[in-house]
Amino acid sequence: MDKSEELSLFFEKNRLKTFKNWPFKLPSACTKEKMAAAGFYFAGSKSEPDLACCFVCLKELDGWEEEDDPWEEHSRRGECDFIKLNKTEEEMTVMELFDLLVKRRLNQMKIASSKKIKALETLGQGYEEDLRNS
């Protein structure tokens, strides 16, 4: 994802555009409009037809059901600064938007560092086994 694509996800209408073949329509509670309003953009593929990702906390959720309320599902999956702010795009100030961008960056760093830690742990386990076997 390039920078301009990434920034475009901060706007609800652009998130909405990412849901091309979303399986749920009205009267379902889980429409693409509600998904976009709850901070999600489509992150799936053919093999993952309902994978959505939050533009701030980067949480990925799939297995959506017709009666799921995207905002509720989002708020039940741990802390998210977009959910915490609880404002529509029109209500948000530029500073609040900027703050969400900072939070997105922090979450990206958290994910990247936890991946590195896992890789180091795996490496460490490998060494331990080598030592035990030598």
How far is 98 from 22, CA to CA, in rounded Å? 29
Q: What are the structure tokens assigned to 16, written together?
A: 């909405």
3-state secondary structure 35-77: HHHCCEEECCCCCCCCCEEECCCCCEECCCCCCCCHHHHHHHC
Is residue 100 near Zn ion by the rule CB under 5 A? no
Judged by CB under 5 A, the stretch of 11-19, 60-68, 76-84, 117-125 that binds Zn ion is: 76-84
Instruction: Name which of 29, 33, 31 is nearest 13 in CA terms.
Output: 33
Closer CB to Zn ion, residue 88 or residue 122? 88
Q: Using the rule CB under 5 A, which residue among 36, 38, 53, 54 binds Zn ion? A: 54
Residue partners of 41: CB distance under 8 A and separation at least 6: 9, 14, 15, 18, 19, 52, 53, 55
For residue 25, give both structure tokens. 């329509």
Candidates 9, 53, 57, 61: give the one binding Zn ion (CB under 5 A). 57
Least CB distance to Zn ion at residue 48 (A): 18
- Give the length of the chain: 134
Total number of residues binding Zn ion (CB under 5 A)?
A: 4
Measured from the CB of residue 59, what is the shortest distance to Zn ion in angstroms? 5
Stretch in the footprint of Zn ion (CB under 5 A) among 7-15, 40-48, 53-61, 98-106: 53-61
Stretch that binds Zn ion, among 3-11, 50-58, 64-72, 91-99 (CB under 5 A): 50-58
Residues that bind Zn ion (CB under 5 A): 54, 56-57, 80
